[in-house]
């Protein structure tokens, strides 16, 4: 996939992507509060799989070329891991709400940085380790593990963040041999298979109005992934990735406006620390890619 260098357009597309994904999370929160999480994610994945198959069919070589890989076990595990992570995160929405779930989940770039050494053998300098440590101070501020009111359920989005970080690292690893189109195809198809095997047992009738919401969920899922593809087609990842934090802001607005959620002071402070640490790691990653720069 050829990549452009239109950074302003990439930033605009990334912000649009985060808005669409935040809306998707709000729709998922509503549906998962009414129906089984596995069924909701399963239907969402059916449409996602149809989308990736349609995209693959339009490329040279068709579906067969997109599915061709020398590392099917890793690709399959990636799809399984992402599907499971989505279930965990949607479950967190129903327990903690959008605001607190996303506040904790924002630490995933720090987890990527921390795990890139042992998993990918990448070098992580002391400055980025310091940023990772500061970011996890922010997580602790949100979780308040020493407080008598600590809710163990707050660890659910942290688990989702860890799973998503491993998924991201595996995506980088398989990219050494497979194209983006191949990884995208396996993500959608293996995820759909995984969720069908798990979710079909929890099928229950849905109200007509909820089917409309489900249709909107599927549309936001497809459009969000399409926008994300466009983001990385027009701009470098290091230039636009920091703007992914807009999803936290959009999710907070949706949670406060439509679900009556509240924002505690420790969540605001902790999220701000995590975002600042994450932005620093992005900056260090950008320096690392420049010739002659040291960590």
Tens digits of residue pLDDT in 59-97: 878 899 999 999 999 999 999 999 999 999 999 999 999
Indicate if the alpha-carbon torsion angle 128, 130, 133, 134 is positive or negative.
negative
Q: Name the band, by pLDDT with cuts 50, 70 and 90, for residue 295.
A: very low
Which range has highest mean pLDDT (6-20, 119-133, 191-205, 227-241)? 191-205
Looking at every residue in the chain, the average pLDDT score rounds to 87
How much of the chain exceeds pLDDT 70, in percent? 92
Q: Name the band, by pLDDT with cuts 50, 70 and 90, for residue 238.
A: low
- Rounded CA-CA distance 138/274 in Å is 5
- Rounded CA-CA distance 284/105 in Å is 21
- Rounded CA-CA distance 197/242 in Å is 36
**What value does the CA radius of gyration of the chain take, rounded to a whole number of Å?**
19
Does the pLDDT value for residue 123 go beyond 90? no
What pTM did the predictor assign? 0.88
**What are the angstrom distances between the C-alpha of 238 and each of 81, 105, 231, 292, 294?**
24, 20, 11, 18, 17
Q: What is the pLDDT of residue 1?
A: 47
- Rounded CA-CA distance 193/196 in Å is 5
Q: What is the pLDDT of residue 294?
A: 47
Q: What is the pLDDT of residue 232?
A: 77
Does the pLDDT value for residue 293 go beyond 60? no
Does the pLDDT value for residue 106 go beyond 70? yes
Mean pLDDT of 182-210: 95
Q: What is the pLDDT of residue 146?
A: 55
CB 52 within 8 A of CB 185: yes
Q: Name the band, by pLDDT with cuts 50, 70 and 90, for residue 282.
A: confident
Q: What is the pLDDT of residue 45?
A: 96
CB 190 within 8 A of CB 75: yes
């Amino acid at each position: 996939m050829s990549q452009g260098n239109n950074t302003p357009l990439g930033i605009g597309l990334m912000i649009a992507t985060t808005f669409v994904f935040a809306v998707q999370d709000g729709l998922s929160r509503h549906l998962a509060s009414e129906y089984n999480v596995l069924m909701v994610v399963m239907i969402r994945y059916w449409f996602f799989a149809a989308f990736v198959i349609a995209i693959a069919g339009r490329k040279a070589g068709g579906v067969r070329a997109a599915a061709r890989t020398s590392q099917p076990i890793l690709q399959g595990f990636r799809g399984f891991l992402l599907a499971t992570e989505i279930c965990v995160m949607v479950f967190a929405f129903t327990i903690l709400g959008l605001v607190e779930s996303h506040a904790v989940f924002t630490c995933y770039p720090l987890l990527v940085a921390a795990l890139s050494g042992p998993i990918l053998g990448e070098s992580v300098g002391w400055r980025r380790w310091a940023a990772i440590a500061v970011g996890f101070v922010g997580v602790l501020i949100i979780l308040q593990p020493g407080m008598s009111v600590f809710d163990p359920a707050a660890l659910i989005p942290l688990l989702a963040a860890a799973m998503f970080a491993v998924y991201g690292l595996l995506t980088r690893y398989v990219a050494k041999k497979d194209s983006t189109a191949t990884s995208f195809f396996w993500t959608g198809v293996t995820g759909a298979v995984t969720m069908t095997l798990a979710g079909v047992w929890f099928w229950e009738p849905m109200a007509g109005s909820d089917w409309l919401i489900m249709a909107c969920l599927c549309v936001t899922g497809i459009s969000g992934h399409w926008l994300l593809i466009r983001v990385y087609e027009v701009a470098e990842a290091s230039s636009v990735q920091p703007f992914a934090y807009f999803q936290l802001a959009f999710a907070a607005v949706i949670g406060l406006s439509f679900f009556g959620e509240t924002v505690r002071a420790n969540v605001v402070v902790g999220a701000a620390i995590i975002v600042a640490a994450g932005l620093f790691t992005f900056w260090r990653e950008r320096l690392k890619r420049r010739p002659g720069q040291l960590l």
